[in-house]
Structure 1
Amino acid sequence: MSKENNTEFKEAITLHQKGINGDKKAAEKAFKQLKELKLMNHNDPLIEAYYGSASALVARDHANLMEKTNYAKRGMKALDHAVTKDSSNMEIRMLRGNVAFRLPEMHFKRTSTAIEDFLYLIAAYEKEKGKGTITKDQYEDILFKLGKAYKNSNEDQKAKDVWTKLSSKNPKYKKQIEKG
C-alpha cells in the first residue's frame, strides 16, 4: 500500500469507527473510500475486511430490505475472503466476528462464524497472556458476545460456562449476563 493510500485507509478506518457508533453518513463515506482502496489494493486482506464491515454498516442503515440484504451478503463475502487470505490476522477476525454476531441468525445463519472467530480471538489473547493485540476490555467483550452467541444457538451450558468465566474476571458484566 502506498503512503497516499495509507493516509486514505486511516481516514476510512476513522469514518468506519464513526459508522459503528451510529453515524450513517460516515459509514457510507467509509464504504465508498474502502471500495476504492479495495480496487487499488485487491490483494490486501485488511482493506477487504474493512470494506466488508463497512458494507455491513451500510446494510444496517439502509431502508430498502433487498438492498440491506445485498450489502450484508456482500460484506460477509468480503470478510470471509479476507479471513481466507489471512486467517491469523486478529483485526480481520475481530471485524468478521462482530459483523457475523450482529447479523440476524434467522436470515444469515452466521452465528457459528461469530463463535469460531470469538474462540480464535480468546485463545490468542490467553496464549499471549494479554500482551498481544487484544486489550483486556476487548477480551471481556468478546467473552460476553461468545456467551450470547452460544445462548442464541441454544447452547445454554456453553453460554453459562463462558459467562461464569467472564464474571470471575469482571463482575461488572453480571447485570448484562442476567439479561442474557
Structure 2
Amino acid sequence: MNRREAIVVLGSQPDPGTWRFPRHVYDALDLAAQRYAQASIKPVVITSGDQSLSFARGEAAQPFRECDRLADDLVTRGVSGADILREGESRDVISNLYYVKRKLAQYGAPQQIVLPLGDWRIPRIAMVAEKVLGADFMVTYLGVPSDSPDPAQEHLKSDMQGRFLEPMLRGDDAWLSGKFYDSWLYRFWAERG
C-alpha cells in the first residue's frame, strides 16, 4: 500500500434504543469522507471498534461491530470500500489505537495518521495516542465541534487511562499485550457499571 496518510475513524458507544452513534461520530465521518474525496492519492481509511466495554459485558446486545457500521456509512459518502480497513477487536480508545497500529504495520500503510473526532475527545485521545502509537506515527487531529456528553466522565476517563498508561514506555506494544479487558482499569470500569 503506497499511501501518504491513513484516516482513522473511531467508534463510540451507540444509543441502545436506536443503535445510532452520537452526533460527533457522524460529523467525523463527514470530515473523513471530505478529506478522502479531496486527496489526489487516496488515503487508506481505517474504521475502528467492535463494541463498547459496557455492551461487551452484556449490558446490551449490540447487533453490529462499530467498524462495520462506520465503513458502511463511509461507502455511502463516497469512500471506496477497497480503501477501507476494518479494525474490529477494540472496545475502548486504548485498544482502538493499539489494534489500529497493528493494522497499519500489517498493511505497510503510512505513518501519517489523521483522526477526525469530537473536539472534546482530542485531549484524552492525544494523550493515549502519544503513549500507544509512540514516535513512529505523526497524528493530525481534526476536531468537530460537539458538546461533551459529561465533562466529569471525560475527565475521569482521561485520568484513569493516563494512570493505566503511565508505566508504559512510549510505543511499547509488548507492555500492552495481554492487558486488555481484565487488568485493573477494566475491572474499575466494570465495577462502576
- TM-score by shorter chain over 0.5: no
Determine which structure has the larger helix proportion and give its number. 1
TM-score between the two structures when normalised by the length of structure 2: 0.30
Larger radius of gyration: 1
Instruction: Specify which structure has the bigger relative contact order, considering alpha-carbon pairs within 8 angstroms and separated by 6 or more residues.
Output: 2
- Where is the strand percentage greater, Structure 1 or Structure 2? 2
